[in-house]
Chain A
Amino acid sequence: MIPFEQFVLQNGLRVVVHEDHATPMAVVNVMYDVGARDEDPSKTGFAHLFEHLMFGGSVNIPSYDEPLQRAGGENNAYTTNDLTNYYCQLPAENIETAFWLESDRMLSLAFGEKSLETQRKVVSEEFKEHYLNKPYGDVWHKMRSLAYTTHPYRWMTIGAELSHIENATLEDVKRFFFKHYRPSNAILTVAGHVTTAQVRQLAEKWFGDIPSGEKYIRHLPLEPVQTAPRKLEVHANVPADAFYKCWHICSRTDRRYYATDLLTEVLSGGGSSRLFQSLVKEKQLFSNIGCYHFGSIDAGLAAIEGKLVKGVKMEDAEAAVEAELQKIKGTSVEEKELRKVKNKTESLIIFEDMSLMNRAGSLSFYTLLGNTNMINEELERYQLVSAEELRQEAEIIFDANNSITMYYFGNH
């Protein structure tokens, strides 16, 4: 049971406090309800570029990192298709430094031309390092644009193409900031050796006078239901053929989410999972195989991906995957197997919650989803999933008309 308290400032900033006096540290986590899904299709990669700019100085403070490090703190941030999260950890006695820094950059950035120019280059190098200069680096660009025709999940967080980042102007950047980086669009979570009264006082002092701005109302286009299989063949300069297949799944807040998550765990969560045992160990068709889902807030994707053992035909590999999916659609998993994936989920949650930073991040995320107490309710929701629900979910998801298949051929 993770205790927390929460309140809302007049400007709309939601605040969550989690007291833990066993540590001398405090974590300050600011989550903005903006991700790549909120981008203009002609200006993708902005949410992520923005994350970089957030370290380029704010209106009253030329550098974010220096004062934080001087206070014994460290920090980082990440952007997803759904949200952007900034977090820092520092000795609790210096917590006001974090309030000072985070509130100033919520008030306004410095918007320096130099900072934009540098970060455009840095993000371009990041793009190259992870997506262009790596074997199989283009897979998820291609997969997303095939799986989604309408919803902005059709591009990756890094952006649809380099030119969008290269052409970003200071005007674009300012508009994005004042649209999305407002108190009413943010969640502040403070965890560790702090009290709620202290956090309330500091939050009022530092964040209370930031104009709430116009509330951003998200109107994303709904992805139409897919009605026929989609397929793509790619030929690239890679040493091994690879097989990728995706299916549309429910959203994060759907009650079916828990069955979906356990389903991927039955298929590929570890050395005794079905796909690994059958396709890597027994049939030796794949040198590795994984099944997972993207965990996105709007309706996302489940994926199976694997590299083929040399000499194996793509069609044979796919047929073997299909046979495993038929099995899980046709017959309910045994009680022991269901217990196994639930036990794994239980310990995963407990291990994750050991870290103060993770607890702060999860509290923010569940608040963003609309119910902070999900942090204490998730395990129970997993425990309630029945074998029959798993089977039904498999039947819904692993339907040919719901699938997107990619054959990725190497040159050999």
Chain B
Amino acid sequence: MTPITALPCIILVIIKKQNVLTMVNRQFAPGIKDAINYTLELKPFRKFILSNGVAVYAIDAGVEEVVQLELVFNAGNWYEHQNMVASTTNHMLKNGTSRKNAFNINEHFEYYGSYLNRACYNETAMLSLHSLTKHLHELLPVIQELITESAMPEAELDIYRQNMKQKLEVNLKKCDFVSNRLIDEYLFGINHPYGKYSSSIAYDALQPEQLRRFFDQYYVNGNCTIFIAGRLPNNIELLLNENFGSLPLNKAQLPHITHPVEAAAEKKYRIINDKEGIQGAIRIASHFPGRHHPHFTKAQVLNTLFGGYFGSRLMSNIREDKGYTYGIHSYMQNHVQQTAWMISTEAGKEVCEATIAEVYKEMQALREKAVPEEELLLVKNYLIGTILGDLDGPFHIIGRWKNIILNELGEDYFYTAVADIKNVTAKEIQELANQYLHPNRFYELVVV
């Protein structure tokens, strides 16, 4: 049987081959429109002010009947006098008010199929709601209750403390977790909001009374900005005003608090966290002027080339050529006041030093040789294409505006940044590399 069936197969293959040649030429890439030739537009927000002066930024867009509401307070750890007070207060917003216990609160939001999350950052802290638009009116009154009547119950704090301490103990076994804490400490100092981190001692020191005071000053009588996006109900202004417009928000001036940066003198660290560890977490980081600096966007392009996308120099060399790691990335770790330029990877213990050497070689290459035009165009297209894809949907659009507004970057920031990406030259990239990508500027850490 075999020869009989084999023969027609061979003929078939020959025919197919001819077909391939006449039908489609796979050797050459189809023509493309360079993404940098796209005009990007960021849908403008609608802004309105509640009776008490709270600003609301709204994007009414999308096809699904959903809404995302974010209440941003100036209640980050910048404002706390004791470690963990800001993040714990933020967490406890869902753990009981004078009228409802934690279970009642969770049940209410979950019954309506909504998700109420909270997050605490360095300068800001927020409550965010994702819900179907039709349920919004059932949820806003409870959010109002949370930001005015949270009770910070002691029993809830005890459970939180106990569970967080245990979680911390597990995390401290992980080299990546430990390295993230230490590198921030080297850059900013253990007392700075960007450099400090959790500890068992800090959890033990938390008292409900401190949380209540922080809540009263930074939430009840705090400074709030509202961002809302999705398919908004027609009466959205009225709804927000009814629920938040008469609260005593945005009355008091924010206290002016400064925190000096205390960067470590020593730049190189090798730490054994787990004697049996088989990988090392590598962090290489330096200070970088923040988002307001005129170099910022162009340095982002340099960062993308260097280690900011899958085809980056670091990935191509250290993952795709050497196979030292599953992934290596560089990025700007942005805070409101400061930025750090960070290179981050986990690599086999025995190749950690070789990995670091390659990172510096890639810095050197970017300093010494202008990036080829083709590679630069590729990165620009990639970045613009990514932004284009990322403007998909109301939540992404409001996310971009939130970043611009909270960082006071100016309403034309999006367009300036896009223009910077499109226009940056290979020469400028090389100059930036020479200014910022010097090994002696960087802290270097390996945690095994």
A positions within 8 Å CB-CB of B:
22-25, 59-61, 65-67, 69-75, 89-91, 93-94, 96-97, 99-100, 103-104, 107, 117-126, 128-129, 132-136, 205-206, 208-209, 211, 237-240, 269-272, 277, 280-281, 284, 287-288, 307, 309-310, 336, 339-340, 343-348, 350-351, 353-356
A366 CA to B379 CA, complexed, in Å:
35
Question: Which listed residue, B276, B388, B393, touches A237 by the CB 8 Å rule?
Answer: B276
Question: Which listed residue, A93, A118, A280, touches B320 by the CB 8 Å rule?
Answer: A118
**Stretch binding the partner chain, chosen from B50-58, B160-168, B212-220, B362-370:** B160-168
Question: Which listed residue, A65, A70, A269, touches B377 by the CB 8 Å rule?
Answer: A70
Min CB–CB distance A392 → chain B (angstroms): 24
A66 CA to B169 CA, complexed, in Å:
42
B19 at the binding interface (Cβ < 8 Å): yes
A120 CA to B322 CA, complexed, in Å:
11
A239 CA to B34 CA, complexed, in Å:
53
Check B111 against A339 for contact (C-beta < 8 Å): yes
A103 CA to B172 CA, complexed, in Å:
46
Check A125 against B392 for contact (C-beta < 8 Å): no
A107 CA to B20 CA, complexed, in Å:
11
Contact bitstring B57-68, A, C-beta under 8 A = 1, else 0 = 000001111100
Residue of A nearest to B171 (CB): A135
Check B102 against A280 for contact (C-beta < 8 Å): no
A95 CA to B115 CA, complexed, in Å:
36
Question: Which listed residue, A209, A270, A288, touches B163 by the CB 8 Å rule?
Answer: A288
User: A355 with B159: in contact, given A90-B385, A96-B30 (CB under 8 Å)?
Assistant: no
Min CB–CB distance B400 → chain A (angstroms): 16
User: A72 with B132: in contact, given A240-B169, A287-B162, A350-B64 (CB under 8 Å)?
Assistant: no
Contact bitstring B1-21, A, C-beta under 8 A = 1, else 0 = 000000000000100100110
Check B385 against A287 for contact (C-beta < 8 Å): no
- 19 inter-chain pairs at a CB distance below 8 angstroms, sorted by A residue, are A59-B26, A60-B27, A66-B378, A72-B35, A89-B389, A93-B33, A100-B30, A104-B26, A122-B325, A124-B348, A125-B347, A129-B346, A208-B23, A209-B23, A238-B173, A281-B103, A348-B113, A354-B393, A355-B392
Min CB–CB distance B350 → chain A (angstroms): 11
B381 at the binding interface (Cβ < 8 Å): yes
Residues of A within 8 Å of B196, CB to CB, are none
Check A72 against B112 for contact (C-beta < 8 Å): no
Known A-B contacts: A100-B26, A209-B20. Give 11 more (CB < 8 A): A69-B310, A69-B382, A100-B30, A104-B26, A118-B321, A128-B279, A206-B24, A209-B16, A281-B103, A340-B110, A347-B66
User: A25 with B26: in contact, given A133-B278, A238-B173, A271-B102 (CB under 8 Å)?
Assistant: no
Question: Which listed residue, B33, B131, B166, touches A287 by the CB 8 Å rule?
Answer: B166
A328 CA to B174 CA, complexed, in Å:
37
Residue of A nearest to B62 (CB): A354
Question: Which listed residue, A89, A125, A344, A346, touches B326 by the CB 8 Å rule?
Answer: A125
User: A120 with B323: in contact, given A66-B311, A211-B16, A350-B64 (CB under 8 Å)?
Assistant: yes
